[in-house]
Amino acid sequence: MFDYKRLEAVDIQGEPPRYEPERQYYYMKKCREWAEQEEERAGRPLTMSIQTLGCQMNAKDSEKMTAVLAYMGYQETVEPVADFVLYNTCTVRENANLKIYGRLGYLKNHKKKNPHMKIALCGCMMQEKDEVEKIKRSYPFVDLVFGTHNIYKLAEILYRQIQSGHRVVDVWDEPEEIVEDLPGKRKYPFRTGVNIMFGCNNFCSYCIVPYVRGRERSREPEDIIREISALVADGVVEVMLLGQNVNSYGKTLEQPISFAELLRQVEKVEGIRRIRFMTSHPKDLSDELIAVMRDSKKICPHLHLPLQSGRSSILAQMNRRYTKEQYLNLARKLKTEIPQISLTTDIIVGFPGETEEDFQETMDVVGLVGFDTAFTFIYSKRTGTPAAAMKDQVPEDVVKERFERLLKKVQETGAKVSGRQLHTVQEVLVEEVNDHDSRLMTGRLGNNTIVHFPGTEALIGKIVRVSLDEFKGFYYLGKIKNKQDKEAR
C-alpha cells in the first residue's frame, strides 16, 4: 500500500533510484517541483482532465494516474480542456478509436491558445503500432504516448518530456514487473476496484485484448489482501476484484491458488462489506466458486458472465470453448444454488458467418437465462485478430437490424426479471445524490440494481435497509427502513 512517508524519504538531489516504487516517487517529486514553477508562471492552480474510455481496468488505471498528477499539484476538472489532458484509451471496438481522433481534433485549437498545455495518450489503443504511427504523423501536438504496461511510469515519462521539450513515445510490447505501493485516488471514497490480475490468455478470435494487455499475470494474494485491508482502514466498504478473466486467477503463481480461495481470504478481511468481481469466463467458472458465492455473506449475488453468442458453432469459431448447452447448464446451476443471483452478460451481434438461424439461438438464450442486463455490441473487425481474416463478414444493414431486435429482447427480459425483489426490504449501498432530484439518494443493491429513495448526503457510503416499493423497468423507488438511518434523513 502507498505510504506517504516512504515517498517523503526519497532524495531528489542525486540520481534516480533503480528500483520501484522509489524510482517513481523520485520522478513524482521532480515533476512536482516543475509544476510549482508552472503554477507561478500561470498565476493560478494547474488543472487536469482525465478522460477514460473502456472497462473497469482502465478506470482503475486512471485512478492511479490521477493520484500521481494530483501529487504534482494538478487539480481535477470535469472540463474537457485543462493544463494536462490525458486520454486513457480503449481499442476493443473501432468506434472507441474514432472517438479519440475526434477529441484530439477538438484539442488542437486549444493547444494553440495555451502552448503550455500537455496532451497525453495512454492505454490499450496505444499498444497498436498503426495507431501510434498515425499519431506521430498527424497529431504532432500530442506530448506523451505510452501503453498499458508502463502506466505506472507516468511521472518518469512526463519528466523526460519536460526535460527534453520533445514528444515522448514509450510503448512496451511486453509487460515487465507488477509494481506495488503506488498511490491511488478513488473516485468514490467508499468503493474501489482492486486489480488481482492483468492480461488475458484466452485469445477469443474477435478480441484484441490479449494483444494489447499481454499474457495473464496474477498478483500475489498477500499483496491483494494487504491492499484491501488498508483500503478498509481508509473507509472502503465495497471492492471490485478486477481481471480480464478472474476465474483463472492464481494459476501462474509460484504457489498456485484458485480464485475461489482468494475470495475466501478476502471475505475474512474485517470491515469489508461487499465483494464484487469482474469478468468471469464461463469455461473456467468452477463449482468451488459457486459454493463460495453461495455460502458468503459478503460476495454480492451478481455475476457478469459474457455469453457472446448463443450458437455453439459460432462459439467454436469465437474460440470460447463452451457450447450453448454448457452455458445454459451453468446458468441453471447458478440460479439453483444462489436463487437471488442476478446474471448479466455481453453479446456480440454480426460475428463473421452469423446467419439468421444462429442469431435466433442467441435470442433464445437471452429468453431462457433471463439476464438482468446485457451489454450488446456490434461486431467490430480488429486488425490482427483471427476473426478479421474470416470470410462472410455480415453486411452492416443486416447486423443493425439484428442488433435492434436483440436490444428490444434484452430490455423486455431485463424488465421482467430485475423487478423480482419488489416489496421486499434490502440492503443498499448509498452512492450519490440523485442526478435529477436532489431530495433523492441513489444506491445499489448487492445484485447491482439501482435504487432511488428520499435521504440526505450524510448517508453516502453507508449501507442502509430500504423497502423496494415501486419497480420502474430497471430501477426501484423505495424508502429507508431502519431507525437510525431514518434519523439521518
Crossing angle of helices 22-42 and 154-164, rounded to 10°: 50
Extended strands (E) in 310-439: 342-349, 373-378, 425-433
80, 51 in Cβ contact below 8 A? yes
DSSP-derived 3-state class of residue 441:
strand
User: By CB under 6 A, is residue 308 in contact with ligand 5AD?
Assistant: yes
Pick the closer one to ligand 5AD by CB: 239 or 307. 307
User: By CB under 6 A, is residue 221 in contact with ligand 5AD?
Assistant: no
Contact partner, 93, from ligand 5AD, ligand SF4, none, Cβ < 5-8 Å per class: ligand 5AD
263 Cβ partners below 8 Å, 6+ apart? 241, 275, 277, 289, 292, 293, 296, 299
Instruction: Specify the pairing of strand 217-218 against strand 197-198.
Output: antiparallel
User: By CB under 6 A, is residue 84 in contact with ligand 5AD?
Assistant: no
Joined grid coordinates for residue 7: 515517498
Count residues contacting ligand 5AD (CB under 6 A)? Answer: 12
DSSP conformational letter for 153:
G
Pick the closer one to ligand SF4 by CB: 154 or 209. 209
Joined grid coordinates for residue 378: 456490434
CB of 161 to ligand SF4, least distance (A): 31
DSSP-derived 3-state class of residue 35:
helix
The residue with cell 516512504 is 6
The one segment of 157-165, 376-384, 415-423, 433-441 that binds ligand 5AD by CB under 6 A: 376-384
Joined grid coordinates for residue 282: 464461463
Contact partner, 380, from ligand SF4, ligand 5AD, none, Cβ < 5-8 Å per class: ligand 5AD
424, 468 in Cβ contact below 8 A? yes
Contact partner, 244, from ligand SF4, ligand 5AD, none, Cβ < 5-8 Å per class: ligand SF4
Instruction: Specify the pairing of strand 274-278 against strand 238-242.
Output: parallel
Q: Is it true that the peptide bond before 279 is cis, omega within 30 degrees of 0?
A: yes
User: Among residues 84, 159, 249, 379, which is the contact residue for ligand 5AD, using CB under 6 A?
Assistant: 379
Pick the closer one to ligand SF4 by CB: 202 or 258. 202
User: Among residues 348, 429, 466, 480, which is the contact residue for ligand 5AD, using CB under 6 A?
Assistant: 348
Contact partner, 267, from ligand 5AD, ligand SF4, none, Cβ < 5-8 Å per class: none
Contact partner, 445, from ligand 5AD, ligand SF4, none, Cβ < 5-8 Å per class: none
User: By CB under 6 A, is residue 382 in contact with ligand 5AD?
Assistant: yes
Contact partner, 202, from ligand SF4, ligand 5AD, none, Cβ < 5-8 Å per class: ligand SF4
Give the footprint of ligand SF4 on this chain (CB under 6 A).
200, 202-204, 207, 209-210, 244-245, 281
Joined grid coordinates for residue 120: 497525453
User: By CB under 6 A, is residue 246 in contact with ligand 5AD?
Assistant: no
Pick the closer one to ligand 5AD by CB: 111 or 302. 302
Sign of the dihedral through C-alpha 387, 388, 393, 396: positive
Q: Distances in Å between the alpha carbon of 313 and those of 154, 362, 382?
A: 44, 12, 21
CB of 209 to ligand SF4, least distance (A): 4
Joined grid coordinates for residue 83: 493544463
DSSP conformational letter for 255:
S
Site string for ligand 5AD, 178-207 (x = CB under 6 A): ----------------------------xx
Pick the closer one to ligand SF4 by CB: 15 or 174. 174
Contact partner, 46, from ligand 5AD, ligand SF4, none, Cβ < 5-8 Å per class: none
Buried-exposed string 265-303: b where 16+ CB fall within 10 A, e elsewhere: ebeebeebbbbbbbbbbbbbbeeebbebbeebebbbbbb
User: Among residues 93, 274, 276, 444, which is the contact residue for ligand 5AD, using CB under 6 A?
Assistant: 93
| Residue 374: CA count within 13 A, CB half-sphere | 32
CB of 207 to ligand SF4, least distance (A): 3
Pick the closer one to ligand 5AD by CB: 49 or 362. 362
Residue nearest to ligand 5AD (CB): 346
CB of 279 to ligand SF4, least distance (A): 6
User: By CB under 6 A, is residue 304 in contact with ligand 5AD?
Assistant: no
Nearest to 278 by CA among 237, 246, 254: 246
Would you tell me which residues interact with ligand 5AD (CB under 6 A)?
92-93, 206-207, 306, 308, 346, 348, 377, 379-380, 382
